[in-house]
């Protein structure tokens, strides 16, 4: 069976640590959507690794890592990220046989490529919007738009150079009016892609068949989501969302697996809320001392962009919504240690919407939060690895969350370190 780990807030929930912690128990770790707009930060023995495209299982030599068909890939960024884990290249730049990633990393031939014009379009689109979305500017949205418009470039196209040239020329002609004086050159793009074709050839395969075969053999597969459910293109706070399906549906369409292949669905949430970019955020502590305290203590700056994250109290209404949306069977609650030494802690349990109290997520999320207040705890929970060793106030907070959303909190993170995780 394939288990799924996905974010159930606005991204940046700490999924990387959970995947990293569990990856040693799996034989395959799979990224199934998003691109290098994601950033998973993992701390191992005091050393920090930030992964944007590579699955978190890359830190375990026993894991096979898959970039599946639902991912959009900036090949230059992937090249640099892979270099951290490789030993050497031959004089032509082709991957050396002794590279530790050969046989450990597999890239879908159906994944779409982010090209230079996607990045230019992304930034131009942001500049021209009345209200910016707050994208990372990495070209993710335009690459997915081309995919839906059926003019995208797939990884497999790298090995059909004549038709690839024709497709890219058509795309450059199409966008010339939107990007005048863009300095994009067909020959330069083709030369770069030709080099990438040689670079990545040992890694490219039909990953759907690979995963089907792994399922047939009874291999343990972990599907790793990027961003969070409240940024889902269909179910998030549209239009301030990402460009992929971040909910459980993306795990299926982005891999070729089906519902009968799925086992556990582990939703990951912080003990409070953060959001990067624009869009509604009901529990945000805007220009507030407590919000600044959360940001500072939680080191809430984007792993991909470095942008400060907006911070606020935990939104339990949105969390319960995401648990239902994804069919979560377990939860992981991250960064409980950030709430150390708060005199009180709030959690949103209802919304005020058009002068009415509601307990569901409306389509526009233009709401005012209604809070339940909890007594905070003195001292630090940092590094605690048993639930019973947590302060009673922390236990009460966690138990209330579990009861409210109707899903067991199976993992509780008490520090950024890999091993500081309570398993219940």
Say what the pLDDT of residue 98 is. Answer: 55
DSSP state of 114: P
**Residue-level pLDDT at 277:** 84
Under 8 Å between Cβ of 413 and 333: yes
Does 236 carry a binding-site annotation?
no
Instruction: Write down the pLDDT at residue 125.
Output: 85
Mean pLDDT of 359-381: 96
Over the stretch 310-369, which tens digit does the pLDDT of each residue have? Answer: 999 999 999 999 999 999 999 999 999 999 999 999 999 999 999 999 999 999 999 999
Residue pair 263/3 in contact by the 8 Å Cβ criterion: yes
Residue 49 three-state SS: strand
15, 225 Cβ separation under 8 angstroms:
yes
Element (H, E) at 172: helix 161-175
DSSP 8-state assignment for residue 21? H
pLDDT surpasses 80 at 250: yes
Q: Report whether pLDDT(30) > 80.
A: yes
Q: What is the pLDDT of residue 99?
A: 72
Rounded to 5 degrees, φ, ψ at 111 are -65, 145
Q: Is 20 annotated as a binding residue?
A: no
Position 303 scores a pLDDT of 65
Residue 246 assigned to a binding site: no
Q: Which pLDDT band, with edges at 50, 70 and 90, does 96 fall under?
A: very low
> What integer pLDDT is reported at residue 89 of this predicted model?
43
- Which one has a higher pLDDT value, 188 or 43? 188
Residues that are catalytic: 12, 40, 147
Is the Cβ–Cβ distance between 320 and 404 less than 8 Å?
Answer: yes
Helix (H) and strand (E) counts for the chain?
A: 11, 20
Of the listed ranges 13-22, 145-154, 204-213, 401-410, the one predicted with least confidence: 13-22
pLDDT score for 74: 97
Distance CA 349, CA 43 (A): 33
| Residue 178: predicted pLDDT | 85
Q: Residue 218 annotated as binding?
A: no
Does residue 91 have a pLDDT over 90? no
pLDDT, average across residues 198-219: 97
CB 229 within 8 A of CB 208: no
Among 56-65, 71-80, 104-113, 403-412, name the one with the lowest average pLDDT.
56-65
What is the predicted pLDDT for the residue at 51? 85
Domains defined for the chain, CATH in brackets: 2-109+204-264 (3.40.440.10), 113-200 (1.10.300.10), 269-423 (3.90.170.10)
305 is in an annotated binding site: yes
Contact 242, 138 (CB under 8 A): no
| Cα distances (Å, whole numbers) of residue 80 to 36, 51, 84 | 12, 11, 7
Q: Is 385 annotated for ligand binding?
A: no
Q: What average pLDDT does the segment 394-417 reach?
A: 97
**Res 93 pLDDT > 60:** no
Most distant CA atoms of the chain, gap in Å: 69
3-state secondary structure of 250: helix
Q: Does 149 count as an annotated binding residue?
A: no
Please say whether the beta carbons of 158 and 177 come within 8 A. Answer: no
Query: What pLDDT score does 88 carry?
Result: 41
Contact present, 265 and 328 (Cβ < 8 Å): yes
pLDDT at 16: 85
Q: Which of 97, 66, 102, 72 is nearest to 213 (CA)?
A: 66
DSSP assignment, residue 371? E
Q: Check whether 112 is labelled as a binding-site residue.
A: no
CA distances from 220 to 26, 246, 249, 381, 424 (A): 5, 22, 20, 33, 21
Annotated binding residue 327: no
Q: Which of 38, 55, 404, 401 is nearest to 246 (CA)?
A: 38
- E strand segments, 271-343: 273-275, 310-312, 314-315, 330-334
pLDDT at 396 over 70: yes
HSE-CB of 131 using CA atoms within 13 angstroms = 7
Annotated binding residue 14:
yes
- Please check the confidence at residue 129 and state whether its pLDDT lies above 90: no
H-run or E-run covering 290: helix 289-297
pLDDT (mean) for 264-269: 98
**Is 335 marked within a binding site?**
yes
- Residue 87's pLDDT band, with cuts at 50, 70 and 90, is low
Question: What global pTM score does this model have?
Answer: 0.92
- Residue 411's DSSP bridge partners are 332, 423
Question: Which of the pair, 169 or 137, is modelled with greater confidence?
Answer: 169
Share of the chain residues as helix, strand and coil, in percent rounded to the nearest 5 = 35, 25, 40
Report the distance separating Cα 417 and Cα 335, nearest Å. Answer: 11
Least confident among 10-24, 74-88, 350-364, 399-413? 74-88
DSSP 8-state symbol, 191: H
12 in a known ligand binding site: yes
User: Over the chain, what is the mean pLDDT?
Assistant: 92
> Is a pLDDT exceeding 70 seen at residue 13?
yes
């Amino acid at each position: 069976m394939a288990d799924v780990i996905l974010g159930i807030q606005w991204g940046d929930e700490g999924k990387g640590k959970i995947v990293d912690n569990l990856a040693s128990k799996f034989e395959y770790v799979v990224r199934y959507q998003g691109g290098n707009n994601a950033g998973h930060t993992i701390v191992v023995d005091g050393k920090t690794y930030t992964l944007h495209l590579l699955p978190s299982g890359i830190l375990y030599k026993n894991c096979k890592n898959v970039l599946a068909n639902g991912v959009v890939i900036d090949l230059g960024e992937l090249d640099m990220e892979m270099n951290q884990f490789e030993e050497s290249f031959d004089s032509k730049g082709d991957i050396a046989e002794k590279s530790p990633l050969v046989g450990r990393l597999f890239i879908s031939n159906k994944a779409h490529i982010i090209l230079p014009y996607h990045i230019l379009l992304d930034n131009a689109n942001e500049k021209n919007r009345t209200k910016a979305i707050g994208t990372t500017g990495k070209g993710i949205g335009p690459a997915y738009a081309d995919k839906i418009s059926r003019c995208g470039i797939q990884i497999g196209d790298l090995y059909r150079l004549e038709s690839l040239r024709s497709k890219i020329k058509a795309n450059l002609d199409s966008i010339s009016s939107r990007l005048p004086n863009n300095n994009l050159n067909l020959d330069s793009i083709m030369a770069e892609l030709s080099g990438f074709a040689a670079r990545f050839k040992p890694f490219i395969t039909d990953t759907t068949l690979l995963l089907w075969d792994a399922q047939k053999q009874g291999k343990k597969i972990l599907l790793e989501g990027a961003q969070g459910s409240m940024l889902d293109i269909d179910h998030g706070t549209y239009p301030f969302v990402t460009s992929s399906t971040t909910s459980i549906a993306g795990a299926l369409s982005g891999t070729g697996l089906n519902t009968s292949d799925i086992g556990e669905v582990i939703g990951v949430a912080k003990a409070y809320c953060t959001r990067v970019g624009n869009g509604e955020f009901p529990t945000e502590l805007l220009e507030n001392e407590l919000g600044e305290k959360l940001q500072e203590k939680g080191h809430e700056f984007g792993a991909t962009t470095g942008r400060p994250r907006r911070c606020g109290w935990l939104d339990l209404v949105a969390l319960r919504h995401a648990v239902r949306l994804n069919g979560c069977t377990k939860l992981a609650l991250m960064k409980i240690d950030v709430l150390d030494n708060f005199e009180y802690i709030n959690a949103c349990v209802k919304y005020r919407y058009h002068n009415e109290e509601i307990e569901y997520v409306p389509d526009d999320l233009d709401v005012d939060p209604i809070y339940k207040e909890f007594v905070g705890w003195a001292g630090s929970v940092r590094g605690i690895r048993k639930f019973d060793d947590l302060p009673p106030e922390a236990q009460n907070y966690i138990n209330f969350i579990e009861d409210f959303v109707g899903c067991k909190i199976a993992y509780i993170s008490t520090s950024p370190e890999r091993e500081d995780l309570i398993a219940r």
